[in-house]
Copies of this chain bind each other. A is one copy, B any other.
């Protein structure tokens, strides 16, 4: 029996577009003799629909679309489609109003509905906000070509992520895969929308391998692909045979349709095409960011982008990502030197523009700075040059970039990295401006490693950009290292704070300088107000600033017993 995985790239709420994607995959699968087609979790909506789920009219409309889809599918093909179902017992039982569901469409009808049992409610996931967990094991039987009946266990994304033997602990009370194994299903399918983070696919495959071999049951894992706001879904759908070996793997970071043969007699999958995994983490991250930019730009209705080019490494990397995603002709780099800009800032930016084949324009901001100085002179008289003046420059640039974006209908990309966003080394309404923050989840040390990887076959990022010391160039001779610890130290401390949830004493205990740790913690706490107003940023780690980072602003979150004065939040830069 042939089973296909349609690794689709839906747009959230675009029901007609997503409907068409499923229908086209179904036609292609049917033409190749497929009996059962898998699509990702919530394939009709796109994942995550977020508060669109609170609109009952939308839910009803989706339900009607599902019926229509069932009628239009090729005969002889059964399709599992991700949708939501109203919970009829919500009000009487005090339950949530919806289920996160999979519909089995076959023979022109909705034959069966399965509900997701484990609802992730952590990080970027809010499923308890909308959904009631399913209480039953999900399975169906399907007649294969050979007229033997196959029993298929159905799981939805998180349902597979609770094996105590694999994780060493339980995340939820029940383990749906164990329940299915006890039922004695012939194979298990998992329909997912699992977002990318560095190394995630290796973890997924280790887990799937463990489950397939532990329960001696083939597992077919169908993942969503594509960027939806901050989340990048990497696809990499994969099938494991009973021995826990990869039988088939779809492409990473691209739409795909793969077909796998299930042999009812052997009760196992036959080997099929296996796309190799990306070779390095840098290759993986690069592909993720390219997809994230391409999809955000496209799904928001744009085709061209603009960004500021400072001659620094961050904007250089973002320009490279954008030109890979959209084509160099659709990228406009704007050089905006000030009197404090080094000679090299322009030379290096021009070299990058030439290497990438993107468009560029130069707008020196000196005279505009003078207009502000003149206007503010009566008010600022007697004060010395400081953060206020530094930020004016950055905000002039931000204003110019938005003017260009507004005038020509371009999307502005912002270029700050995660280390900067963490400590607030960036200007709100200045260099933070943009519709999308491309590398705001990429630590500075990783920015360097990505650029070196990018240059592996020849120069793309100019050598001087890689070698000069990082600088914001907002005052004469300014260097990042005068304000911040060295980036390798900073990134390590930030990882302990952000990813490992460690406190000041714990971070000092691993050997970091107490003064530096205290300074970094204060900076991270203080910068919360900036991050709250940042554009959506592409998520590549397991803890990004964004929809999954929910911190109070007016708060104290340092444990050390500093006087309040030292810990206070200053919303002044």
* A contact residues vs B (CB 8 Å cutoff): 11-17, 46, 48-52, 54-58, 61, 91-95, 121-122, 126, 128-129, 162, 169-174, 227-229, 295-296, 299-302, 361, 363-365, 367-368, 370-372, 374-376, 379-380, 383, 386-389, 391-392, 395-396, 398-400, 402-407, 409, 411-412, 428-429, 433, 435, 501-503, 505-506, 529, 532-536, 547, 549-557, 559, 561, 564, 568-573
Contact = CB atoms under 8 A, between A and B. Distances in A.
Contact of A559 (B57, B300, B392, B406): B57
Contacts of A573: 406
A13 B536 contact: no
A554 B412 CA distance: 15
Contact of A555 (B46, B302, B380, B407): B46
A447 B397 CA distance: 34
Contacts of A55: 501-503, 557
A104 to B, nearest CB: 26
Contacts of A395: 395, 398-399, 402-403, 429
B405 A12 contact: no
B399 A372 contact: yes
Nearest to A172: B94
Contacts of A554: 11-12, 227-229, 295-296, 299-300
Given A94-B171, A363-B379, A409-B570, 4 more contacts: A55-B557, A368-B371, A395-B402, A435-B571
Contacts of A375: 363-365, 367-368, 400
B429 A529 contact: no
A573 B554 CA distance: 30
A161 to B, nearest CB: 11
Nearest to A535: B533
Contact of A57 (B15, B361, B388, B502): B502
A374 B366 CA distance: 12
A57 B413 CA distance: 37
A403 B535 contact: no
Contacts of A302: 570-571
Contacts of A429: 395, 398-399, 402, 429, 433
Contacts of A227: 554
B58 A559 contact: yes
Contact of A396 (B94, B301, B399, B570): B399
Given A54-B501, A555-B13, A570-B301, A367 B374 contact: yes
B409 A572 contact: yes
A505 B58 CA distance: 11
Contacts of A301: 568-570
A50 B300 contact: no
Nearest to A383: B407
Given A51-B551, A121-B121, A571-B300, A387 B406 contact: yes
8 contacts: A13-B555, A13-B557, A52-B557, A58-B503, A128-B128, A383-B407, A388-B404, A395-B429
B170 A94 contact: yes
A121 B94 CA distance: 13
A501 B57 CA distance: 8
A300 B529 CA distance: 10
The 10 closest A-B CB pairs, nearest first, are: A57-B503, A301-B568, A94-B170, A12-B555, A299-B554, A388-B406, A91-B169, A128-B128, A388-B407, A371-B371
A445 B57 CA distance: 27
Contact of A533 (B229, B534, B549): B534
Contact of A52 (B172, B376, B406, B552): B552
A318 B172 CA distance: 48
A573 B405 CA distance: 8
A542 to B, nearest CB: 12
B93 A556 contact: no
A403 B389 CA distance: 7
A335 to B, nearest CB: 12
Contacts of A57: 501-503, 505-506, 559
B392 A399 contact: yes
A128 B52 CA distance: 20
A551 B429 CA distance: 22
A65 to B, nearest CB: 11
B173 A95 contact: yes
A392 B387 contact: no
